[in-house]
Amino acid sequence: MEIIKQAPLRAMAVTPHPDDCEGGCGGTLSKWIQESGTAGVVVLCTNGDKGTGDREMEPAELAAIREREQQEAADVMGANDVVFLSHPDGGLEDSMLFRSQLVREIRRHKPDVILCIDPYRSISHTHRDHRMSGQVAIDAAFTYAWNPQHFPDQITQEGLEPHMVKEAYLWGSETPDVFVDITDFLDTKAESLSRHASQMSADPVARAKRIRSWAAETGEKAGLTHAEGFRRIQFNLESVIMRT
Ligand SMILES: [Zn+2]
Taking only the tens place, the pLDDT of each residue in 63-91 is 999 999 999 999 999 999 999 999 999 99
Nearest to 31 by CA among 207, 179, 197: 179
The domain in which residue 51 lies consists of 2-243
175 CA distance to ligand 1 middle (Å): 20
Is the pLDDT at 243 greater than 70? The verdict is no
Give the dihedral of Cα atoms 189, 192, 194, 196; nearest 10 deg. -130
**Beta 167-171 vs 227-234: how paired, if at all?**
antiparallel
Spatial neighbors of 168 by CB under 8 A, at least 6 apart, are: 113, 114, 115, 116, 137, 138, 141, 232, 233, 235
131 CA distance to ligand 1 middle (Å): 10
Is the pLDDT at 13 greater than 70? The verdict is yes
> How far is residue 69's CA from residue 104's CA, in Å, rounded to a whole number?
24
111 CA distance to ligand 1 middle (Å): 22
- DSSP strand E in 71-162: where? 81-87, 113-117
170 CA distance to ligand 1 middle (Å): 14
Check residue 130 and give its pLDDT.
97
172 CA distance to ligand 1 middle (Å): 11
* Position with higher pLDDT, 52 vs 5: 5
5 CA distance to ligand 1 middle (Å): 28
- Count of the separate structural domains present in the chain: 1
CA 141 to chain centre: 13
Q: What is the CATH number of the domain that holds 99?
A: 3.40.50.10320
Ligand 1 is an ion; its neighbours by CB within 5 Å are 16-17, 20
Is the pLDDT at 122 greater than 60? The verdict is yes
113 CA distance to ligand 1 middle (Å): 21
Check residue 142 and give its pLDDT.
96
Q: What is the mean pLDDT of residues 117-142?
A: 96
Confidence of residue 240 (pLDDT cuts 50, 70, 90): confident
Q: What is the mean pLDDT of residues 1-19?
A: 97
> How far is residue 56's CA from residue 96's CA, in Å, rounded to a whole number?
34
Is the pLDDT at 174 greater than 70? The verdict is yes
